[in-house]
Amino acid sequence: MIHFTCDGCQRPINLEDELRYVVRVEVYAAFDGEESDAADRDHLQEIDDILEALDELEDAGSDEEVFQQVRYDLCAECRKRFLRNPLGRMSNRGVGFSNN
């Protein structure tokens, strides 16, 4: 039997008693190229330029700068926490001090 551990809290997930949730995240570079009239575009040249740029990135070893995919196993509680705050931002609540 395969054993899973929650990537959020590091607790073992007992598949007989609880559900295991999988979070998949893909981060990739967005290509926001110039918009131009389609009749004026040289599509073959654009493809050639893109392929050359990809070759340069591969030579530089920066594949992770273009595309990265990660996967996490979560328990039910960490799933709830993730869905409430998927980017892990700090809350805007103020720090509470005692009245000493």
Chain segment 52-65, per-residue pLDDT in tens: 887 776 666 566 67
**pTM confidence score:** 0.61
Q: Which amino acid is at 7?
A: D
User: Residues near 46 by Cβ (< 8 Å), separated by ≥ 6?
Assistant: 33
**Would the pLDDT of 47 be above 70?**
yes
The domain segmentation of the chain, as residue ranges, is: 1-29+65-88
Model pLDDT, residue 55? 76
Model pLDDT, residue 78? 98
Model pLDDT, residue 83? 97
Q: Which amino acid is at 12?
A: P
CA atoms of 73 and 47, how far apart (whole Å): 38
SS (H, E, C) 17-66: CCCCEEEEEEEECCCCCCCCCHHHCCHHHHHHHHHHHHHHHHHHCCHHHH
Q: How many C-beta atoms lie closer than 10 Å to residue 75's C-beta?
A: 23
**Would the pLDDT of 71 be above 90?**
yes
**Would the pLDDT of 8 be above 90?**
yes
Categorize the per-residue pLDDT at 38 as very low, low, confident or very high, splitting at 50, 70 and 90: low
75: left (phi over 0), alpha (psi -120 to 50) or beta: beta
